């Protein structure tokens, strides 16, 4: 690790994150999590910090898995179109 760190304060807990990534990027990650936490708190009415953190984590993982699925489908569609174009090109030549 090259000593890059970001101070974080979430749900009443403060700590330092050390990362190989740029501190500005890590600040964006933290800001995204904080926004997700605010949304969870507003929608659920849950007050317990651990429950809020777990709900936020589940929400973020759900978003990640959905995006991965979308990307996989998109890659599959692009691959199929490329194969079709290659097949047409081979038939024409």
Predicted local distance difference test score (pLDDT) of residue 2 = 56
End-to-end CA distance of the chain: 55
User: pLDDT digits over 6-47, tens only?
Assistant: 999 999 999 999 999 999 999 999 999 999 999 999 999 999
Full domain range(s) for residue 36: 5-92
CA 55, CA 71: separation in Å to the nearest integer? Answer: 24
Is the pLDDT at 69 greater than 80? The verdict is yes
pLDDT interval class at 3 (50, 70, 90):
low
Number of domains in the chain: 1
Task: Name the band, by pLDDT with cuts 50, 70 and 90, for residue 90.
Answer: confident
Phi, psi dihedral angles at 9 (to 5 degrees): -135, 110
**Both structure tokens of 7:** 């101070």
Q: For residues 78 and 73, give the distance between their C-alpha atoms in angstroms, rounded to a whole number.
A: 9
- CA–CA gap between residue 24 and residue 2 (Å, rounded): 15
CB 45 within 8 A of CB 69: no
The region, left, alpha or beta by phi > 0 then psi within -120 to 50, assigned to residue 7 is beta
Share of the chain above pLDDT 70, in %: 96
């Amino acid at each position: 690790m090259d000593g890059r760190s970001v101070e974080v304060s979430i749900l009443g807990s403060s700590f330092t994150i050390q990362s190989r990534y740029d501190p500005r990027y890590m600040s964006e990650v933290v800001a995204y999590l904080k926004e997700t936490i605010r949304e969870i708190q507003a929608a659920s009415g849950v007050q317990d910090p651990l429950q809020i953190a777990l709900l936020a984590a589940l929400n973020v993982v759900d978003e990640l898995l959905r995006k991965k699925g979308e990307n996989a489908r998109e890659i599959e569609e692009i691959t199929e179109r490329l194969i079709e174009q290659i097949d047409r090109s081979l038939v024409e030549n």
